[in-house]
Amino acid sequence: MEIRLRGHHLLCLLGFRGMGYSAAFSANMTRVYNELRESPETTIALVQGPDDLCTCFPADGQYHCENRSVAKHDEEVIRRLGLETGTRVPWSTVLERVRAAIAPEDINVLCVTCQWRSYGVCEAGVRTIRQGEGLPPLP
């Protein structure tokens, strides 16, 4: 099984603690998170535009998944990780790239406009991965 993910969601997953845009969105993200947590060799297809997490964005929400600014965010994260859109990598490789290329405080620059950033969970998530650990259990 492979999971289709866009660039910035590689970082969002590190900070996921169960919050999300709706119950259905969070349930889908929980499923993906647990799959990656339990099977770090799961193949990630790095896609451009909406991915397997965007599919559950609520219909009554302010849809932003195809905004140019979000695509630019994806490109920045992919470039920073030394990865390439359109390729496939195991999730464990994503974690290795995060350890090598992203510092916790980088979230404040890379994700400056994100509504979730102020919770501090993504910064903490990067810190956990840089300590050599995998994805922690969800609260």
- Residues that bind ligand SF4 in the complex, under the rule CB under 6 A: 8, 11-12, 15, 107, 111, 114, 116-117, 122
For helices 7-15 and 91-101, the axis angle rounded to 10 degrees is 80
Tokens of 2: 């492979």
**For residues 69 and 131, which CB has a smaller minimum distance to ligand SF4 in the complex?**
69
Q: How far is the CB of 70 from ligand SF4 (least distance, A)?
A: 9
- Placement of tokens 């650990």 in the chain: 133
**For residues 12 and 81, which CB has a smaller minimum distance to ligand SF4 in the complex?**
12
Q: How far is the CB of 48 from ligand SF4 (least distance, A)?
A: 17
Candidates 37, 46, 56; CA nearest to 8 is 46
**For residues 40 and 104, which CB has a smaller minimum distance to ligand SF4 in the complex?**
104
Alpha-carbon span 99 to 76, nearest angstrom: 16
Q: How far is the CB of 137 from ligand SF4 (least distance, A)?
A: 19
**For residues 89 and 116, which CB has a smaller minimum distance to ligand SF4 in the complex?**
116
Judged by phi (left if over 0) then psi (alpha if -120 to 50, else beta), residue 102 lies in beta
Half-sphere exposure of 61 (CA within 13 A, CB side): 14
Q: How far is the CB of 46 from ligand SF4 (least distance, A)?
A: 16
